[in-house]
Structure formats: structure tokens, C-alpha cells
Structure 1
Amino acid sequence: MNRALRIIFSRYGIVVIILVLVLGVIALATERQQTPLDGGVSNSGSSTSEASSEAFTEDDGLATENCEGDDCYPDVELPQEAVDRSVEFAEVWLNPNGHNADSWYDSLLPFITDEQAELLQGVDPISVPATAITGDPVPEGAKVGIPMDTGTLTLTMTEGSNNLTGTGWLVSAIDWEQS
């Protein structure tokens, strides 16, 4: 028994154990790739994946295989509520009350998605490149362009919820174009 344990816990024994584990994981992964998404059961009771793959090949109209850039998504007209919400965000983003970085960030949270909140964490409001909104918002698809004194703030709007608000229109991306 002592000799067997010495062999198992030697460097060669450990290499063999790791090799067996890696081969086992590869075998399980290969088997999982060959299993259809419906668990191997189709409508006819056979285990072919033809029935389940047909559901994924229908065109949903949202994107194509050769899709590039902003043309991948259908033209969506934002409701006025989304445009108004984007302007509210822009007004807070400009930091008219002179908040410090933490309170400015907190004031933005009700207007942005959780993903965007992560990206804005630690940003100093001094880095905001504008001081005033100079024109009416221009909605285009899911985006709203807001003219400012030094450029255009483009906000991508999405309907959803974050940790602070219920379901509504939120800013999911912020883009700045200097004029």
C-alpha cells in the first residue's frame, strides 16, 4: 500500500492523473458538441438534430451573416419618451451643479444600463467636453444625437431596467463627436 501511494504521488503519477483528467474533459466536451440542443429528442421521437436546427435557421429579420456596422439592425423609431430620457441624461451629464466625481456618477445611474455604469465608474466630470446643449435632439434608429456647444453627444437608447429604476428607456452607449 505504501509503495502504491508513493508511485501515485510521485511526479510521474501526478502527470498521469492530470492526463487522465484532461482526456476525460475533452471526451465530455466532444460528446456535448454532438448532442442536439433539445437533448436528442425531436418531434418524431428520433435522436436526429434536424428538427431543432430548423428553428435556428429561420430569418428573424434582425441581422444577416454579411452584416457590418450600424446597418445590421432594422430601422427603429424611438418613442418620444426615449428621446426625452436621452435629453435628461445629457443635462445631468453636463454636470450643471458642479458635482464631484462620486455624486456626478450617482446622478447618472438612473439613466444608464448596468453595463454602461461599469464603464463610467471612476470618470471625472471635468472630462466632459461640453458645457451646454445647443439644439434639439435628433433621433436616428436607436440613437439620439444631441447637439452641444463643442460637438455632438450620441446616445444609444435601449428599453430595460437597471439596479435603481424600473423598466424604461436607458442609455446603453455614449459616443462623442467633436465639432
Structure 2
Amino acid sequence: MNRALRIIFSRYGIVVIILVLVLGVIALANRRQDTPLDGTNGADGAEGEATSEAVTADDGFATDECEEDGCFTDEELPQEAVDRAVEFAEAWLNPNGYGSQGWLDSIRPLLTDDTAALMEGVDPETVPATEVAGEAVPDGSKVAIPLDTGTLTLTMVEVGGGDWLVSAIDWEQS
């Protein structure tokens, strides 16, 4: 017994113990098969593309407000909704150079209350584009608007009286 303890607590024994602990931590860290963005499609370990769709259908920035007849899923949006989306995109680009509060005040009438609350404190300097670069393309309840550095995708909902508001904002860099 003394000989075993002497070996374990020797210089070499301690190195072996530390090495086993480090390898154990690495092995545990690599066992992430059930995490949403690890590149697998679940516990079976089948390879797949790692996407945020594994976590949620939305990116978490804003949520769709689909209550009663507010969301169009199988049919195209009316032209009023597309026009409203383009109007929002132009204001979102901040052509007047507003500060944070002035910018928010300029886009607030085009947003749902929940989305406007999420935009509180956003600095308009962080908007990653400067101009609309093409025609808006409706797709279900969403409108994709090409900008000079990417695509702004807006989810539109109809509120009382045929008024259309932006309920979700998504940006994809090109």
C-alpha cells in the first residue's frame, strides 16, 4: 500500500492524474450530440447542416404576432403591406441622420408594440446598410428587401382596419 501511494503521489503519478483529468474534461466537452447547433439532427448523430432552425423557427429578435387573421401564410401579401415594408426599410436606413430616439420615433409607427419595445436603445449607427438596392419580394407573410449590403426580411401583420405593421426584423449579410 505504501508503495502504491508513493507512486501515485510522485512527480509522475501527479502528471498522470492531471492528464487523466484533462482528457476527461475534453471527452465530456465533446459529448454535445443533443445541442441545437452542433451540426447533427438529433441523438442519432446523423450529420446535417447546423442552423438556427434547430433552436427555433425565429431568430429571437422579434416574434411573429399571428392572431386570428393577422398572418398570411399561403397567400401573398397585398401591395399595401409590401409598400409599408419598403417604407419601414427606408426609415430603418436612417437617411435623415437621426439620433437613437429620433430614429426610433421615425420607425415606431411602422412597428408592432412588441417589436418597437425590442428596438428601444438600438443605435441607428449599427444599421448595416445605406440604401435600398432592388424591388421588394413578398413571400407569404414576409417581405424580402434587397439592400446594398444584404437582405432585410420583414414579417408583416395586419392590425385593425387594414393597417400593416412590421412584427419581426431579420437581416442577412450578403
When normalised by structure 1's length, the TM-score is 0.56
Which of residues 167, 170, 173 in structure 1 aligns to 2:165?
170
The percent identity for this pair of structures is 64
The amino acid across from 1:149 in the alignment is: D
Identify unmatched segments of 5+ residues in structure 2.
1-55, 59-71
Q: Give secondary structure in 1 for the equivalent of 2:168.
A: strand
Question: Matches of 1:75 and 1:167 in 2, distance apart?
Answer: 18
Alpha-carbon distance change, 74 to 92 in structure 1, aligned in 2, over 3 angstroms: closer
Question: Matches of 1:159 and 1:120 in 2, distance apart?
Answer: 20
Question: Matches of 2:169 and 2:109 in 1, distance apart?
Answer: 15
Instruction: Show CA shifts across 1:156-179 (max 9, x none).
Output: 000116xxxx75100000000000
Q: Give secondary structure in 2 for the equivalent of 1:76.
A: coil
Q: Give secondary structure in 2 for the equivalent of 1:77.
A: coil
Alpha-carbon distance change, 152 to 140 in structure 1, aligned in 2, over 3 angstroms: same
Following TM superposition, the consecutive aligned residue runs of length 4 or more in structure 1 with deviations greater than 6 angstroms are none
Question: Matches of 2:129 and 2:155 in 1, distance apart?
Answer: 18
2:142–2:155 Cα contact (<8 Å) kept: yes
1:1-179 to 2 correspondence within 5 Å? 69=57, 74-160=73-159, 168-179=163-174
What's the offset of the Cα at 1:76?
2.5
Identify unmatched segments of 5+ residues in structure 1.
1-67
2:92–2:127 Cα contact (<8 Å) kept: yes
What's the offset of the Cα at 1:134?
0.3
What's the offset of the Cα at 1:74?
3.8
Alpha-carbon distance change, 167 to 81 in structure 1, aligned in 2, over 3 angstroms: closer
Question: Matches of 2:73 and 2:143 in 1, distance apart?
Answer: 16
When normalised by structure 2's length, the TM-score is 0.58
What's the offset of the Cα at 1:155?
0.1
The amino acid across from 1:169 in the alignment is: W
Question: Matches of 1:109 and 1:167 in 2, distance apart?
Answer: 18
Task: Let me know the Cα RMSD of the aligned residues.
Answer: 1.8
Instruction: Show CA shifts across 1:54-92 (max 9, x none).
Output: xxxxxxxxxxxxxx849xx84121000000000000000
Instruction: Show CA shifts across 1:27-57 (max 9, x none).
Output: xxxxxxxxxxxxxxxxxxxxxxxxxxxxxxx
Question: Matches of 1:123 and 1:138 in 2, distance apart?
Answer: 26
How many residue pairs get aligned? The number is 106
From the CA coordinates, give the structure whose radius of gyration is larger: 1
2:155–2:166 Cα contact (<8 Å) kept: yes
